[in-house]
Amino acid sequence: MDDERHDITPEYVTLEGPLPVCEYTGEPGEEPCEEPAVVKRWSSAAVVIAAGVGAVVGGVLVAAGIMWVLGFVPGVRPLSQQESVSTRPSDQQITVGEDVNAAVAVAAKVTPSVVNVSVERQFRNVFTGSVEWREVGNGSGVIIREDGYILTNYHVIENADRIVVTVGVQDVEAEVAGIDPKTDLALLKVAGTDHPAIELGSSTDLEVGQFVVAVGSPFGLEKTVTAGIISALQRTPEGEGLGIARYTNLIQTDAAINPGNSGGALVDAAGKLIGINTLIQSPAGAVGTPQSAGIGFAIPVDFARTVADQLIETGTAVHPYMGVQSVTIDENLAVQFDLPARAGALVQFVEPGSPADLAGLQRGDIIIVADGRDITGAEDLVAVVRSSNVGDTLEITLIRADTERDLTVTLGSDADR
């Protein structure tokens, strides 16, 4: 066409030609004429330009990706050097800042490792004759290994026909892997290999006044967190209803502990397990009654771990023993019987054939030193023996007939009694 002209734009070409004259009169049957179409198409020049720009942009992006992977981008580590995020409690570090206090950080780390322990008994319905399961009590437990081992108190599961633990949001039936009534500890086992095991600490260097957090299920209220301090160390509580268990060297805390907390965790400021919550002291003086007075006791983790290791390996636990029964000497007893010492452990009975008998201890001896520790009462002597191992030798200093004597006792195993 003679009048055809090309108006080239960067993106496409618009072709325009002579436009027909359209006059619409509105007569009946007359069709309105259409507006002229504008045809758009890519020119060869535009295609070449677009391809070139795309190649340049793509090359820049690929080069940037390679530089990032290789670590050449400032402030950004390559993928090969980036650390994976772990959800295991043992890998989490407690960081306390302006927005997070110690109790909040510890609770976030520890609560996944503490489980509710539901104790169930089997009953027969007298009307229907069917067998039913009923919850008759609850306590707490601590996951100590990723393969499903849970440490709790023996008195929590003592009368159970079935034990159900709540791990996360799931109720799982647990098996009893081992019990040790003498220390009030029990070990449970649930299936699985990727459980949130707690980070184990040490009870060796604990200090009075140290910050602690208790986690458990008081009155069935799961994942309850209370905070306090260590009130005292090496406590040996006395009271009714303690059964055959001997509690020695316990950690005393003022963190609120109530029925249901038994078997739960006592942890330090780093979220590490330092004790298994076990007892409370009530205002009435009896241990274990459902009233908290800010006096609770926990079994030290070092001792609990020793028992747990034995239960895992053999299903039973053995303990060192000396073979004496003794009472605490106080001022009144010393005056009443005209004793040559105002403090110590007065031997009342020596078990025949026991390590104490073989070492030469006698009824009436007053033990004042054992293994380098001053003995001011019978509980001190029990604590020394309990903190030792089978086969250890203890240097004993005693008073017999106003004369001090030194003896050596080699501790035996209570399994041989």
Closest among 278, 302, 312, 318 to 175, alpha carbons compared? 312
Q: From the candidates 140, 155, 292, 319, give the one annotated as an active-site residue.
A: 155
Q: From the candidates 113, 118, 140, 184, give the one annotated as an active-site residue.
A: 184
Give me the numbers of helices (H) and strands (E) for the chain, helices first please.
7, 24
Classify residue 400 by burial, with Cβ atoms within 10 Å: 0-12, 13-18, 19+: middle
Closest among 214, 217, 215 to 137, alpha carbons compared? 217
Q: How far apart are CA 25 and CA 33, in angstroms?
A: 11
Any residues with CB less than 8 A from the CB of 31 and at least 6 apart, and which? none
Q: How far apart are CA 76 and CA 304, in angstroms?
A: 46
DSSP letters, 71-118, are T-STT---GGGPPPPP--GGG------SS--HHHHHHHHHGGGEEEEE
Identify whether the C-beta of residue 142 lies closer than 8 Å to the C-beta of residue 262.
no
Identify whether the C-beta of residue 349 lies closer than 8 Å to the C-beta of residue 325.
yes
319 is catalytic: no
Residue 78: Cβ within 10 Å count: 13
155 is catalytic: yes
Helix (H, G, I), strand (E, B) or coil at 380: helix
Q: How far apart are CA 114 and CA 263, in angstroms?
A: 9
Quote the Cα angle for 30-35-40, to 5°: 150
Cβ burial 109-140 (10 Å sphere, 16+ → b, else e): bbbbbbbbbbbbeeeeeeeeeeeeeeeebbbb
Tokens for 167? 């791990």
Q: From the candidates 113, 231, 262, 354, give the one annotated as an active-site residue.
A: 262
- Residues with a catalytic annotation lie at 155, 184, 262
